Amino acid sequence: MINRDRLRIAAQKNGRLSDPARDLMSRAGLSFRESRDRLFCFGETQPVDLLLVRDDDIPGLIAEGTCDLGIVGRNVLDEQRLERAAKGLPPAFQEIRALGFGRCRLSIALPQDMPWEGPQTLAGLRIATSYPALLDDWLKQQGVRADIVMLSGSVEIAPRLGKAEAICDLVSTGGTLAANQLREVVVIHQSEAVLAAPVEALQDERAEICDLLLRRMDGVMQVREARLVMFESPRDAVSTVLALLHESETASCCALDGQADWLSVQVIRQGKLDWQTLEDMKRAGARRLLVLPVEQMLP
Ligand code: PRT
Ligand code: ZN
């Protein structure tokens, strides 16, 4: 195979994961020469090239050795992993990082007026899905026998068309289910975009490039989740307010000019802050709360 000294990443060409995947790569310092509507993009800043494909093709490209890394939904990766296992093929790809975007869940949904009394409710029903292997695996774990109806798209209209009684589909906001008078009854798989790699470690120069890229991606993800939280608090309330943040990192506190009882506090926190937490902090005595994203960080 040619270009063994360059790493090749597969990513989705057009779809939900395309923009966030490109953003992650660019934050990790990768830039590519070809425009994004081309299939192959040559890496300019690192010996890393990009192949833009349909998401369903990504696990296969890794399995056959055409690509060394892939950015793909865990749902697609796990579906194809189970498919290979059912055919008696050895594992060929694995998830090496969860990337924190493209979050969704694979759920069973029923028509709104149909009662749900646990997985046994599904016994003997037809369930439409684009994820037959994941569904089959879950049904076996539950000890439920049902008919799996494979559909490649528009799964949510299957009950109305009389093709199935239930569906098993990806859900993020739940809007599609509601619009089709369906009710989510059980989550069978949690998904987000992941970095996929071959099961066998790379041996040549690509191993080093891959390590560098992983370190950078880890740094990007750490910063992306980080928030700088700033507020003022009465001295005797600081520990209570900080406890609300569930943050083990030490906060830096300094006295406020001319207000001996008040401190100005700064703390880095992982993960977004919801309004409820901010309101609780205020109730505990804090004021002038400010939450900022972190651009770069060097501990
Ligand atoms: O062309 P290509 O094959 O590459 O793309 P695709 O059409 O197969 O995939 P795409 O771009 O739709 O999704 C890519 C990946 O995004 C999926 O494999 C998931 O990992 C992830 N993802 C995250 C989602 C959703 N959220 C999602 N909501 N994929 C699909 N949906 C669909 C779902 O199937 C349903 O039809 O959105 C609808 C439900 O959304 P809500 O918000 O109404 O619940
Ligand atoms: Zn697809």
Ligand 2 center–CA 241 separation, angstroms:
46
Q: Judge if the beta carbon of residue 16 lies within 6 A of ligand 1.
A: yes
Task: Say if ligand 1 is within 6 A of residue 142 CB.
Answer: no
Which ligand ends up closest to the CA of 15?
1
52 in contact with ligand 1, CB cutoff 6 A? no
Residue 20: CB within 6 Å of ligand 1? no
Q: Is 68 in the pocket of ligand 1 (CB under 6 A)?
A: no
The residue whose CB lies within 8 Å of the most ligand 1 atoms, and thus the one to mutate among 101, 170, 192, 195, is: 170
Write the DSSP string, the chain.
---TTSEEEEEESSSTTHHHHHHHHHHTT--BSS-TTSSEE-BSSSSEEEEEE-GGGHHHHHHTTS-SEEEEEHHHHHHHHHHHHHTTPPP-EEEEEE-S-S-EEEEEEEETTS---SGGGGTT-EEEES-HHHHHHHHHHHT---EEEE-SS-GGGTTTTTS-SEEEEEESSSHHHHHTTEEEEEEEEEE-EEEEEESSPP-SHHHHHHHHHHHHHHHHHHHHHEEEEEEEEEGGGHHHHHHHTT--SPPEEEEETTEEEEEEEEEEEES---HHHHHHHHHTT-EEEEEEE------
Centroid of ligand 1 to alpha carbon of 196 (angstroms) = 18
Q: What are the tokens at 35? A: 């425009």
Is 56's C-beta closer than 6 angstroms to any atom of ligand 1? yes
pLDDT tens track for 55-88: 999 999 999 999 999 999 999 999 999 999 999 9
Q: How far is the CA of 282 from the centre of ligand 1 (A)?
A: 39
Atom 20 of ligand 1, nearest CA residue? 73
Q: What is the pLDDT along the chain (299 residues), one digit of tens a residue?
A: 455 789 999 999 999 999 999 999 999 999 999 766 679 999 999 999 999 999 999 999 999 999 999 999 999 999 999 999 999 999 999 999 999 999 999 999 999 999 999 999 999 999 999 999 999 999 999 999 999 999 999 999 999 999 999 999 999 999 999 999 999 999 999 999 999 999 998 888 999 999 999 999 998 988 888 999 999 999 999 999 999 998 766 799 999 989 999 999 999 998 889 999 999 999 999 999 999 998 877 66
Amino acid at 258: G
| Residue 31 Cβ contacting ligand 1 at under 6 Å | no
Ligand with minimal distance to 157 CA: 1
Q: Choose one of 106, 152, 172 to mutate for the ligand 1 pocket test, by most ligand atoms within 8 angstroms of C-beta.
A: 172
Atom 26, ligand 1: which residue's CA is nearest? 104
pLDDT tens digits for range 184-219: 999 999 999 999 999 998 888 999 999 999 999 998
Plot region of 143 (φ>0 → left; ψ -120 to 50 → alpha; else → beta)? left
pTM over 0.95: no
Domains, in order of start, for the chain: 7-102+193-223 (3.40.190.10), 104-191 (3.40.190.10), 226-293 (3.30.70.120)
Contact 115, 122 (CB under 8 A): no
